[in-house]
Amino acid sequence: MILLIKFFIKMNELRIEKKFIFGKKKEEDLKKFLIINGFTQLYQPRKISSVYLDTLNLDFAKDNINGVSKRKKIRFRWYDDNLSYIYLEEKNKQNFQVNKNVNKIFANVKKESIISDLKRYFYSSQNKYNTFNYKFILKINYLRSYWLSNNKKFRATIDHNLKINPINNLFLDLDLNETILEFKFSQDNEASFRDFTHNKDLQIRAKKFSKYIQSFFLLESSGLIV
């Protein structure tokens, strides 16, 4: 578990991310595509859970919706329901280029009181943020599989079975009916990735896609954003 986190999460990591969006229940087709093209699955799939924050004015959501090239996200994240390892992440993105800062939190978080426990930590003096300007928005969980190309230049993930919860009702699950294939690689390998996608004649284009924004829209349309 810890080795997996160390491999995929690097402090101050600068990388490029390219997302390809498919409909529901496409994960098996995408796995076959990766295997045929020389990718190896590194680990068993994991459940990823994230709680997203935004400013009081919802600036993170508005920047993304309005197409601002330089954007930010703040979220708590944990894996396979292991609440002993929860990370506070700040993800800064400019176009397809991403810098992510990750820090493990040290707090007593219980499943039955997870949101209130995370709030207690975030609004405490342990935290670096001007916390009065932020609020908790929503929770997401999904299954992710991890892949690596045979030349070790590209990482890939497949996300599926996305479930969305309003922050004040974690028992209410809404489905985000998408499967997401994402490639991650260093700037040095951008040309190699273009060659890879050109040679494979992918019939779709990489697109901007935010789980947070799509979940925000889904909850907002249902009257569940507080």
Q: Percentage of the chain with pLDDT > 70?
A: 90
**Per-residue pLDDT, 93:** 87
| 11: pLDDT strictly greater than 70 | no
At 45-73, the pLDDT tens digits run 999 999 999 999 999 999 999 988 889 99
At 196-224, the pLDDT tens digits run 887 766 666 788 889 999 999 999 998 88
The whole-angstrom separation of Cα 175 and Cα 143 is 13
**2-221 belongs to CATH 2.40.320.10:** yes
Q: What is the pTM of this model?
A: 0.88
Domain ranges of the chain: 2-221
The whole-angstrom separation of Cα 83 and Cα 108 is 8
Q: Give the model's confidence band at 95: pLDDT under 50 very low, under 70 low, under 90 confident, else very high.
A: confident
User: What percentage of the chain's residues is helix, strand, coil (to nearest 5)?
Assistant: 30, 40, 35
- 206, containing H or E segment: none
| 6: pLDDT strictly greater than 50 | no
